[in-house]
A and B are shown apart, each in its own frame.
Chain A
Amino acid sequence: MSILDLEMKIAEIETKLNEISSDNHQEIEQLQQQLHRYKSRAYQHLTAWDHVTLARHPKRPKAREYIEYIFDSFIELHGDRLYRDDEAIIGGIAKLGNQSVTVIAHQKGCTTSENIKCNFGMPHPEGYRKALRLMKQAEKFNRPIITFIDTPGAYPGPEAEERGQGHAIAECLREMSSLTVPTLSIVIGEGGSGGALALGVSDEIWMLQYAVYSILSPEGFASILYKDGSRAQEAAEVMKLTAQDYLNRGIIEKIIKEPTGGAHQFPQYAFDQLKDQLEGYLLQIKKVTAKQLLNKRYKKYRLIGEYDSLNR
């Protein structure tokens, strides 16, 4: 049974439990046992593909919801000053406690019409150029930068190619690596390939418990390496794309706990967990100098890679 089927089954039992008369003790107990069985089955042994499903869950909270819940007085700033405003990436200035921060995020929609507006969270070059503009602005005013990553990938369309998708991403990577302010990236859903990384060359990378991060979608990976996109579930296992995998490998610094069943089951829980960690982080980095930040950030990426040396 897939995680979505189990989720439906659980909702079904919960509805039954609500409708049942309260003196029908025997049936209530039966249903509760059933519910417990399903829940432990659903959420205890999640496969990599279950993580992918949860990370892409249509009801999963989107970046704007995190921003509005966690920060105060968020002011959204638009446009790259070159071409247009790309709604697949949103950004602006906000406060957390008394600390001003710049917030930049991939934005997916909750409804079809929202998704069309923000292009399902797939940015064009102007989205990345807006992000870069806001990062440079943050640097000028010495504000920490917090980015939220949630994208299937950069948009693979002809206009995106014509306007230099590769170049726009590359500039983000280079510039993020040398920003003189603290930077933190949080993968809240899907971290898809270079389009995700463009907002992710930060001092620290955190992931929500059920978020995924990968070189390409499991479907794309399967169609390339197995010549069969339908083997995506198998690919997801091979790719080792979960938060726990990356924490074990030292690619990310922290996992943010989600409620049982995923952030969409109880969004405030995920928001509160993240907010709590963010407050601590912002306090802690106040003591770090820009030079220390830059050295540590450079080293973090400099050391990623698995290789040895031949004797011939």
Chain B
Amino acid sequence: MGFFLQRQRKLKTSTPKRDINEGIYTKCESCKEVIAVMQLSSNLEVCPTCGFHHRMTAKKRLESLIDPGSFKEINRRLHTLNPLNFPGYEEKIEGLMEANDLNEAVVTGIGKIAGESVAIGIMDSHFLMASMGSVVGEKVTRLIEVSISRRLPLIMVCASGGARMQEGIYSLMQMAKTSAALAKHNDAGLLYISVLTHPTMGGVTASFATLGDIIIAEKGASVGFAGRRVVEQTIKQKLPDHFQTAEFLQEKGLVDLVVSRQELKQTLAKLIDLHEGSEG
């Protein structure tokens, strides 16, 4: 994990710039077409011209997936400490909390998808690249435990730069913690759908993100273990554009299906329905 921060700066720019014409218009990150912010927003941040999927906040993602009024957040108050006393870490977290109206990089809770209750976690890459430290690991683990105790399907909408450097080994061990909880979930015979969105890298890819019974990748998402830059440094060559894309992953047999953002809710609803009554 952790090979991807160099990507981070690049990825950060994939949030549409809001400064054109006082936030009324924005530019598509991919085709550079000027789009009305409202239009992009009502199209789930997908470019109407080229279909590029821009990054989405957890809040918007929730609205796009969960039946209105059905979501109950859990463990919202869990708050990050600074186990290594890493200089500036607390201030950084405070700033991110303020700027994003989030307490950490994942939002977890119980909600309904097309009338069916699910335990769902949504990672928000605007919050320190949704890197996994103690709180992300703990919230995901508690969500898995709630999913087991209430016998609900589990859905994780993943997006992450990987394990969070500032918390050192504590972050690394969250990979073990979440994976161990998923072993229990698996033994309970419950459904786990993992949705890989842009970008999902490092320690999150190497733990709960790739342990789904069904793994869905969102169109165009970059998903991998080592970041593109690091892989290029290893082989001292440029990689093709489609390397580590959702489509590439499907071709290599690493994900079950690739769906567009518009199709995601419907696909999840269908999969949940197909498992109805079959959970052992």
Contact flag A251-B169 (CB < 8 Å), given A167-B254, A220-B3, A306-B81 = yes
Is the CB–CB distance between B186 and A308 below 8 Å? no
Is the CB–CB distance between A166 and B225 below 8 Å? yes
User: Which among B38-46, B148-156, B227-235 touches the partner chain?
Assistant: B227-235
- For residue A290, give the distance in angstroms from its CB to the closest CB of chain B: 14
| Complex alpha-carbon distance, A167 and B206, angstroms | 6
- For residue B172, give the distance in angstroms from its CB to the closest CB of chain A: 5
Contact flag A161-B168 (CB < 8 Å), given A224-B2, A240-B84 = no
Residues in chain B near residue A193, CB distance under 8 A: 1-2, 163, 172, 203
Q: Which residue of A lies closest to B2 (CB)?
A: A216
Is the CB–CB distance between A177 and B179 below 8 Å? yes
Contact flag A308-B252 (CB < 8 Å), given A166-B206, A170-B207, A174-B186 = no
B192-211 contacts to A, CB under 8 A, are: 202-203, 205-211
- For residue B177, give the distance in angstroms from its CB to the closest CB of chain A: 5
Residues in chain B near residue A304, CB distance under 8 A: 134, 170, 173-174, 176-177
A253-284 contacts to B, CB under 8 A, are: none
Residues in chain A near residue B184, CB distance under 8 A: 178, 298
Q: Which residue of A lies closest to B229 (CB)?
A: A156
| Complex alpha-carbon distance, A238 and B83, angstroms | 11
Is the CB–CB distance between A154 and B134 below 8 Å? no
Question: Dominant SS at the B interface?
Answer: helix
Is the CB–CB distance between A169 and B137 below 8 Å? no
A228 interface contact, C-beta 8 A: no
Q: How large is the interface on A (under 10, 10 to 19, 20 to 34, 35 or more residues)?
A: 35 or more
User: Which among B16-24, B49-57, B72-80 touches the partner chain?
Assistant: B72-80
Is the CB–CB distance between A157 and B210 below 8 Å? no
| Complex alpha-carbon distance, A169 and B165, angstroms | 19
Task: Encode contact with B along A167-211: 1 for CB under 8 Å, 0 otherwise.
Answer: 101110111011000000000000001100110110000000000
A246 interface contact, C-beta 8 A: yes
Residues in chain B near residue A174, CB distance under 8 A: 179-180, 182-183, 186, 211
| Complex alpha-carbon distance, A163 and B224, angstroms | 11
Contact flag A173-B179 (CB < 8 Å), given A166-B205, A304-B174, A310-B79 = yes
Contact flag A213-B203 (CB < 8 Å), given A156-B231, A177-B183, A301-B180 = no
| Complex alpha-carbon distance, A225 and B181, angstroms | 30
| Complex alpha-carbon distance, A304 and B181, angstroms | 13
A6 interface contact, C-beta 8 A: no
Sorted from nearest, which 3 A-B pairs have the closest CB atoms? A156-B226, A166-B205, A177-B180
Residues of B at the A interface (CB closer than 8 Å) are 1-3, 5-6, 77-84, 86, 103, 134-135, 137-138, 141, 163, 165-177, 179-184, 186-187, 202-203, 205-211, 224-226, 230-231, 234-235, 239, 243-244, 252-254
Q: Would you mind naming 10 contact pairs between A and B with Cβ atoms under 8 Å apart?
A: A173-B180, A173-B206, A193-B1, A201-B179, A215-B167, A223-B5, A297-B180, A301-B173, A302-B181, A312-B77
Residues of A at the B interface (CB closer than 8 Å) are 154-158, 160-167, 169-171, 173-175, 177-178, 193-194, 197-198, 200-201, 213-216, 220-221, 223-225, 238-241, 246, 249, 251, 297-298, 301-302, 304-312
